[in-house]
Amino acid sequence: MTNKNYNIVEGFNQIAPAYDLANDAMTMGLHRSWRKTLCRRAADAAPRGSRLLDLATGTGDVLFEIAELRPDLELIGADPSSGMLAQARRKHTERKANQLKKISFVQEDGRSLSYKEGSFDVVTISWGIRNINPLSEGLREIRRVLKPGGQVFVLESGQPEWKAVKLFYRYYSKILPFIGERVSKYRPAYQYYTQSVDGFPSGSEFVARLHEFQFRQPRYEALAGGVVYLYSASKM
């Protein structure tokens, strides 16, 4: 399998029922802490009563966490995978009634969103920007749907900055497909994950791409020694 012949959306449809459990297994639950950091930053950045779009929303956990922090926000989760959206909607119906009103899930391609220019005050995307190919189309659409002064927050895996972490991750990444397969019974999705992380710009390289698309004050924070990066920027 290569990244060129792998169908990303179909892969997520295959692993959707086991997606949350597989993430817990592969990160030893640490992905929850990293996601909370993203959610707090996004919640703090959103004006009162504003709209937030979560791209590649998956099973919806980013929106559920932000809803608890900011029940005044209108929250929309977009994802191209019908399987992932089915899981998000199932979890949605299981939550308290007061969290249901301002959350909605829609099937959308991050390369060509149906929303008008300047529709959102905040855009978030966690472990999804790497899957939008070409990246340029995803960044262009994020910038387009943001209001002037609106902010984007991106959480994504990357190449570790610390030597010790880099050495550990080099070996650990080789066993991730086996863990993913054990939980989801579908190995190609996790083979794709490790291959795509290896080839994706991270840290200062991704910040340079944000500069290229005229985002203002792009910055990054390395979490867990750079296994994961949190990026933020705003629209001029």
Q: Which CATH class is domain 3-235?
A: alpha beta
Sequential pLDDT tens for the chain (236 residues): 445 678 999 999 999 999 999 999 988 899 999 999 999 999 999 999 999 999 999 999 999 999 999 999 999 999 999 999 999 999 999 886 555 668 999 999 999 999 999 999 999 999 999 999 999 999 999 999 999 999 999 999 998 887 777 777 777 778 887 888 888 888 899 898 888 988 899 999 999 999 999 999 999 999 988 899 999 999 98
**Biggest CA-to-CA distance, the chain:** 47
- The pairing of beta strand 120-126 with beta strand 51-55: parallel
Q: Which long-range contacts (CB under 8 A, 24 or more apart) does 90-93 make?
A: 91/59, 91/60, 91/61, 91/64, 92/60, 92/64
In this prediction, residue 4 carries a pLDDT of: 65
The structure tokens 């707090």 sit at 40
Helix (H) / strand (E) containing 173: helix 163-184
Per DSSP bridges, beta strands 120-126 and 146-157 are: parallel
pLDDT (0 to 100) of residue 179:
87
Residue 1 is predicted with a pLDDT of: 43
Listed in sequence order, the residues at least 6 apart from 229 whose beta carbon sits closer than 8 Å to its beta carbon are 154, 155, 156, 157, 158, 202, 203, 206, 220, 221, 222, 223
* E strand segments, the chain: 51-55, 74-79, 103-107, 120-126, 146-157, 215-223, 228-235
Q: Which residue's entry shows tokens 């991050």?
A: 110
Q: Give the model's pLDDT for residue 176.
A: 82
CB 79 within 8 A of CB 85: yes
Q: Are 197 and 127 in contact (CB under 8 A)?
A: no
pTM: 0.94
User: What's the pLDDT score for residue 168?
Assistant: 75
